[in-house]
Structure 1
Amino acid sequence: MKLLAMVLVLLFSLFTVLSARHLSNNDEVNEMFSSWLVKHSKIYHSFVEKTKRFQIFKDNVNYIQQHNFGNNSYKLGLNKFADLSLDEYHLLYTGAKKIDSKHKFNNVRSDRYSIHSSDVLPDSIDWRTKGAIAAVKDQGSCGSCWAFSTIGSVEAINQIMTGDLVTLSEQELIDCDTRFSQGCNGGYMDHAFEFIINNGGIDLDKDYPYTGTDGRCNITKKKIKVVSIDNYEDVPVNNELALQKAAANQPITVTIEASGQDFQFYTSGIFDGSCGTNLDHGVVVVGYGTEEGKDYWIVRNSWGAEWGEEGYIRMERNIEDKEGKCGIAMAAFYPVKYDPNPPTPSPSPSEPTHP
């Protein structure tokens, strides 16, 4: 009986693989590719490039199909990354730099969100429903996630403290916060918070709009300070309960490892897939909850609303590893705001950008 059971398992596994491979060997995958090209307005400038992209697309279809045949808590799909290899995706769409002692600001560690025996935390929270979260943004093929992750939590704390939700400028950080961060080549969220504090605030997105490229710092725009923060602090490291306490009070800037294919093609469900703690992507925790006994974080990404669950991913929460899923509890920050925002600036004449 054991031998028969093993044979049946092997046959089922073989059938699953062959079924997925069958799809990539017939006309259906060509039709899928053609439809995908139209949907995402993709144009290749040579036959060689199109052939290369088709092969990558075909391999990704196989990977997605094999995953979705399995009994998993999340699904994968053909999103805008479907013609990118894993290395290309990682190079173009992550960008948070791992914070080491050389680049770490010595900000005062706070016990604001340390865990105490008297703490009673809500079972769930979603800051989107409270009006604290702006629409999902898209960093494009610029490694600026660090800027989006920082701005996301600043927009949120400003709404919590003032009642006004305004969208702020990631581009100002990319262009002007250049002491250690490198724009589209990656950056540090703690330095971004420090920049906003030292500058006395940050401008609106509509006034200093996103371009998805490295630019020169516009001094005129840099002087326009619409929203300010007073400080930023770290969530106690490697402690998901502390992160839960923090997220119950405000959205939190976090760093995760997002370099795997399952993250690349995530479409829906609670992500409990394989990932490590090589932190490379900045995102925002905007809440948490539980579904059918499985705890999760609600995480806002910056890859547009077509990725994941309308721009969000639910990631497994309360796992055995103290670092959390994909290292989500390893490097988490939040802005602190007490004082009112700067006075509304009056229009000023154009000034040259900083070289």
Structure 2
Amino acid sequence: MGIVRLVCMIIFSLLISFLLSPSSAMDLPVTTSGIPRRSNEEVGFIFQTWMSKHGKTYTNALGDRERRFQNFKDNLRFIDQHNAKNLSYRLGLTQFADLTVQEYQDLFPGRPIQKQRPLRISRRYVPLAGDQLPESVDWRQQGAVSEIKDQGNCNSCWAFSAVAAVEGINKIVTGELISLSEQELVDCNVDNHGCNGGGLMDKAFQFLINNNGLDSELDYPYQAVQGYCSRKQSTSNKIITINSYEDVPANDEISLQKAVAHQPVSVGVDKKSQEFMLYKSGIFTGPCGTDLDHAVVIVGYGSENGQDYWIVRNSWGTVWGEAGYAKIARNFVNPTGLCGIAMVASYPIKSPTS
């Protein structure tokens, strides 16, 4: 009896993995347009499996479960239709798959990033005659990027972007990768807006300077809510400082490339599209606008099949994108960059003695 139960559990586990994988749709019976034919029973099973994977529960009040199921069906249909086109990127069932696009946009409302920006433009990374930049860079391979983190329902992407950039430059300068505290920024950086309305990476960098550094994540762990500012001193967990920060000239992907060749760089993007909400893999080519409402960090760049891309580290956990990362098209036709990625870019500066 135990063996039969074990076999059944293995088969069930394999079926779940198959149905939730981005490629599984192409192996199902399809229409002439390449879109999978899904029965109501199959969609219901996929929904239940997705709920279990993400720990989702719904109340019976006011038809909450039925609304979520309808949103899920609509998103699954959108995913199937997109993936049938065989474009440069694929969509999948992210943690947002039970939301409408408007609900997804309302999760992280914030002040437009580009309208908050103080001017601190530097020509440090403006290309010069004779510059030869690497064809590809990936700071993950250099150990300068910590594990993917998850901001949860707190609108703290600005803190995660700034922290990742500081972690990166600290590793490059000192050889040590130390995971730092986003929560300290959320609680204590009063010039930004905690979980309520977003913030600006430059202001986070300035906080680090004024605060003589930032605590480790271990010493000041993330709570996904804004709390009382309680900066803890510790002899066992190092506190990382920076000397200054600068902004890359706006709308200049070549200068941005040179900056990324030297260190991870904080940027803003427009995340509002359904395609971004459900992105799973490949080189994202839009659609998206330039009304910047989300902060991420560029940790590298490269090219694939003739398409240049940025390697972008998000703060939505490992379920979204390529285990938490995205490839976003680089050298876009507009100077703003795709999704406005070249509009607001900044980086911390750290000397070996700081």
**TM bucket, shorter chain:** 0.7 to 0.9
Q: Distance in 1 between matches of 2:112 and 2:218?
A: 27
2:28 paired with 1:16: no
Given that 2:155 and 2:194 are in contact with CA atoms closer than 8 Å, whether structure 1 keeps it comes out as no
2:268 corresponds to 1:255: yes
Q: Among 53, 56, 62, which residue is 1:42 paired with? A: 56
* Alpha-carbon distance change, 26 to 45 in structure 1, aligned in 2, over 3 angstroms: closer
The one-letter code sitting in structure 2 at the alignment partner of 1:38 is: S
Deviations 1:131-189 (A, max 9, x none): 10000100111111000000000000000000000000000110011224343431111
Measured in 1, the distance between the counterparts of 2:217 and 2:89 equals 33
Taking the aligned partners of 2:209 and 2:190, their CA distance within structure 1 comes to: 15
Superposition pairs for residues 25-174 of structure 1, below 5 Å? 26-46=40-60, 48-93=63-108, 95=110, 97-100=112-115, 103-107=116-120, 109-174=121-186
Q: Could you tell me which residue of structure 2 aligns to residue 351 of structure 1?
A: none
Secondary structure of the residue aligned to 1:232 is: strand
Whole-Å Cα distance in 2 between the matches of residues 62 and 105 of structure 1?
43
Letter in 1 for 2:84: F
Aligned length in residues: 322
Quick one: structure 1 residues 74 and 64, their matched pair in 2 at CA, closer, same or farther if it must change by over 3 Å? same
Match for 2:46: what amino acid?
M
Aligned partner of 2:320 in structure 1 is 307
Distance in structure 2 (CA, Å) of the matches to 1:150 and 1:215: 19
Alpha carbons 2:152, 2:224 under 8 Å: kept: yes
Report deviation, 1:106.
4.3
Please, which of 239, 255, 262 is the counterpart of residue 252 of structure 2? 239
**Residue type matched to 2:53 in 1?**
K
Deviation of the 1:71 alpha carbon: 2.5
Matches within 5 A, 1:303-342: 303-341=316-354
* Unaligned segments of structure 1, at least 5 residues: 1-13, 342-355
Distance in 1 (CA, whole Å) between partners of 2:140 and 2:111 is: 24
- CA separation in 2, counterparts of 1:221 and 1:270? 43
Distance 2:180 2:92 in 1: 31
In structure 1, what is the equivalent of residue 13 of structure 2?
Answer: none
Aligned match of 1:352: none
Contact 2:315 2:324 (8 Å CA) reproduced? yes
Identity of aligned residues (%): 49
Pair 208,177 (structure 1): closer, same or farther in 2 beyond 3 Å:
same
| Cα pair distance change 1:130/1:175, threshold 3 Å | same
Answer yes or no: is the 8 Å Cα contact 1:94–1:144 preserved in 2.
no
Cα shift at 1:292:
1.1
Paired with 2:215 and 2:124, the residues of 1 have a C-alpha distance of 28
Q: Name which of 307, 320, 323 aligns with 1:294.
A: 307
Contact (CA 8 Å) 1:142, 1:185: kept in 2 or not? no
SS of 2:33's equivalent?
Answer: helix
Decide whether the 8 Å contact of 1:96 with 1:146 is kept in 2.
Answer: no
Q: Equivalents in 2 of 1:112, 1:65: separation in Å?
A: 45
Q: Is the 8 A contact 1:174 1:184 kept in 2?
A: no
2:279 maps to 266
Distance 1:145-1:221 versus aligned 2 partners, 3 A rule: farther
Runs of 5+ unmatched residues, structure 2? 1-30
Q: Which moved more, 1:165-174 or 1:85-94?
A: 85-94
How far apart are residue 90 of structure 1 and its match?
1.7
2:202 aligned partner:
190
> With structure 1 as the length reference, what TM-score do the two structures score?
0.86
Report how far residue 15 of structure 1 moved.
4.9
CA-based RMSD of the aligned residues comes to 2.0
Distance of aligned partners of 1:52 and 1:96 in 2 relative to their CA distance in 1, 3 Å threshold: same
CA distance in 1 between partners of 2:193 and 2:112 (Å): 8
Query: Residue type of the partner of 2:335?
Result: K
| Amino acid across the alignment from 2:48 | S
Where does 1:211-230 land on structure 2 (aligned, <5 Å)?
Answer: 211-220=223-232, 226-230=239-243
Q: Give the TM-score normalised by the residue count of structure 2.
A: 0.86
- Residues 172 and 222, structure 1, Cα contact 8 Å, conserved in 2: no
Shift of 1:220: 3.8
1:105 is displaced (CA, Å) by 3.2
